[in-house]
Chains A and B, each alone.
Chain A
Amino acid sequence: MKTADNAPARKGDAPTALTWFREGAMTAWPICFGYIPIGLALGVLASQAGLPAWAVTMMSVLVFAGSAQFICVAMLAAGASAGSIIFTTLAVNLRHFLMSSSLAVHLSGVRRLFLSFFAYGITDESFAVNMTRFREGNWGRWQAITVNQLANLAWITATTCGALLGQFIPVGAFGTDYALTAMFLALLIFQLHDIIFILTGLISLCIAVLWYLFIPGDSYIIGASVTAATIGYFLKRYRDKRR
């Protein structure tokens, strides 16, 4: 894709590395900001469910998947078995399969070791931010992995703090509950490149609401996005043929 992306990393290139880090950090802060209230809430819930603080830290390091971790805490509190928790985690996180596939378009030819590290940090939030930046251009794998890892750091810190401080923190003060929603809204606006994208978004919205209302669980995310992207793809082909 981009030649700069495929170039091998140059050692001792301090100013560039610093620039990459700064660009990554400038892009990552809304994610980190949004993770603080959610991470604190998770930590508080986990400590109320009887998990020690070190276990919360361990979970955030090994799993790094917000919704799955909330479900895990709820299932542990309800006395579920490890097997059923692991299976539920797989079901909830299968959506990342799609995100990883989309990111592969922008990381083609990159070393497999780098890709293996990068994959750890693919979340809904880092995916949405990195895809937007990759598409705008002027974005590389090092900025992208900085975003992933800073978000990871914020997540581990926030969940651990929540577990340590227990019920002492007022969750959701100053509208922090809305931080990630606002971020998704902004990223959505940045994704609307032409009428096909707008239509795909509207179709996905309708399917997701209906799917969510009638089918329990989180399958609406994969169900709606795969269906809408497929319809959008055929709409694009139809338009391109008529031109």
Chain B
Amino acid sequence: MIGEDEVKKIALLSHLNLEEGESVSLANELNSILGYVDKLQKLDTTSVEPTSHVHGSKNIMRPDVTSPSMPTELALSNTPELSGRFIKVPIIIEQNGEN
């Protein structure tokens, strides 16, 4: 069962702003979806390999060849704020450790 706190945590991680009371109704909706998953869990899948991909293809790769990127003006045309050719965002500090 998913509670209100868990919904709030997922919202935080997903950068979603929930309205007052929304976390309760979302918890109910999620629980009904997960209730269906619970039903599926009862099926016997011991002989089935875990699936991460549905159409069974493998080794779809391309050679290491470049092709022209999007023109920078087009690539940046949705950007709310620019500084020269950089995308400008509110300052982010100290967190540059993600890889």
A binds B: no
